[in-house]
Amino acid sequence: MLRFALTRFVSLTLSLLIASLVIFAVIEVIPGDPARYMLGINASEDAVAALREQLGLNDSLALRYLDWLGGMLTGDFGLSYTYKVPVSELVMQRLWVSLPLALYALALSTLIAIPVGLIAAARRGSAADYSIMGATQLGIAVPNFWFAMLLVLIFAVTLRWFSAGGFPGWDAGFWLGVKSLTLPAFALALPQASILARVMRSALIETLGEDYIRTARAKGLSRRQATVRHALRNAMIPVLTIIGLQFSFLLAGAIIIENVFYLPGLGRLIFQGITQRDLIVVESLVMLLVFAVILVTFLVDVAYAAVDPRLRRGR
């Protein structure tokens, strides 16, 4: 296990290093001067030049890359150009919106998808199966931002059950925070739940066709017992993969939803960072997201091992 972890660690570090190079290179070639953006249309040339100097934009590329990389290793992500606060502070603030939102959406999607997929697989070919499959097809086809618009229209404007968006902060009370994340979480969860339910169903159907299910039935297990005691855990492997992928997606991919509900999350921070040419914020955030994805992938691998004993000892 240690060797497995070590090998993974080396390749993980290498991936991160390559990722950091790519990110830095891409972001540095984005046209647009942060200093001029900050000072606007009437700024004099020497004011812009002075600001460039102040922001360290006149240093060589290599120097700035190394600076950035070195900073990150010591946990110092630098100072945001526009906000003038440490990037880590900005990120932490936003993370307290994005992370709960991602987890909320993931929980919703999992809680909806697993029972639904289970029912569809167990009653394969029944009316329930067909309606579930039809509904999930629809769920996958609906763009989540459009669904979000509809949710706002129904629940915020017409019914007024929820506010149309915004996030009061956790200080305002836990339930208030949860409430304001509910519509966005549903908007995010719908397509994810549809995908997950389908994966769950097909994985389960596949496992139910395995020989050991027949063995279990020959032992006297009922169809339901065989499904719950034998098929479910084996079917969890593909489901786990999707859950892992979805988490990463939800963390970073909520940009549009965050915009619809004007939530101060990571996605919006990236978007703002790009429009404001706050390069250091963008670089650090993208890097962080890539790191999160790689970490989640690693955790999913570990979770596999927990589910499947065949994977426990090395390779």
Cβ atoms of 97 and 263 within 8 Å: the answer is yes
Q: What is residue 271's three-state secondary structure?
A: helix
Q: Dig out the tokens for 288 from the structure.
A: 């962080």
| DSSP string for 5-40 | HHHHHHHHHHHHHHHHHHHHHHHHTS-S-HHHHHH-
Q: Which long-range contacts (CB under 8 A, 24 or more apart) does 165-169 make?
A: 165/260, 165/261, 165/262, 165/263, 166/261, 166/262, 166/263, 167/97, 167/263, 167/264
Binder to other proteins among 82, 103, 298, 301 (CB under 8 A)? Answer: 82
Cα–Cα distance measured from residue 143 to residue 191, given in angstroms and rounded to the nearest whole number: 8
Binder to other proteins among 1, 63, 66, 138 (CB under 8 A)? Answer: 138
The amino acid sitting at 109 is: S
Q: Does 18 contact other proteins by CB under 8 A?
A: yes
Residue 105 C-beta: closest distance to other proteins, Å: 15
Q: Does 143 contact other proteins by CB under 8 A?
A: yes
What is the per-residue binding string for other proteins in 83-122, x denoting contact by CB under 8 A?
xxx----x--xx--x-------------------------
Binder to other proteins among 140, 176, 302, 303 (CB under 8 A)? Answer: 140
Q: Dig out the tokens for 251 from the structure.
A: 């963390």
Residue 70 C-beta: closest distance to other proteins, Å: 22
What value, to the nearest 5°, has the Cα angle with vertex 169 and ends 166 and 174? 110
Binder to other proteins among 111, 146, 178, 299 (CB under 8 A)? Answer: 146
Residue 86's beta-bridge partner residues?
79
Q: Does 126 contact other proteins by CB under 8 A?
A: no
Residues 40-79 binding other proteins (CB under 8 A) are 40-44, 46-47, 50-51, 53-54
Binder to other proteins among 149, 154, 178, 299 (CB under 8 A)? Answer: 149
Binder to other proteins among 72, 87, 118, 152 (CB under 8 A)? Answer: 152
Cα–Cα distance measured from residue 207 to residue 203, given in angstroms and rounded to the nearest whole number: 6
Residue 245 C-beta: closest distance to other proteins, Å: 8
Whose Cβ is closer to other proteins: residue 108's or residue 260's? 260
The amino acid sitting at 139 is: G
Which residues, other chains included, contact 68 with Cβ-Cβ below 8 Å and sequence gap of 6+? 24, 78, 280, 283, 284
Residue 67 C-beta: closest distance to other proteins, Å: 21
Q: What single DSSP character describes residue 112?
A: H
Whose Cβ is closer to other proteins: residue 22's or residue 178's? 22
3: left (phi over 0), alpha (psi -120 to 50) or beta: alpha
Stretch in the footprint of other proteins (CB under 8 A) among 59-67, 70-78, 82-90, 99-107:
82-90
In 46-60, which positions are buried (b, 16+ CB within 10 angstroms) versus exposed (e)? eebeebeeebeeeee
Residues 281-300 binding other proteins (CB under 8 A) are 282, 286, 289-290, 293-294, 297
Whose Cβ is closer to other proteins: residue 93's or residue 182's? 93
What is the per-residue binding string for other proteins in 225-264, x denoting contact by CB under 8 A?
x---xx--xx-------------xx-xxx-xx--xxxxxx
Whose Cβ is closer to other proteins: residue 75's or residue 220's? 220
Residue 133 C-beta: closest distance to other proteins, Å: 9
Residues 158-217 binding other proteins (CB under 8 A) are 159-160, 163-167, 169, 210-212, 214-217
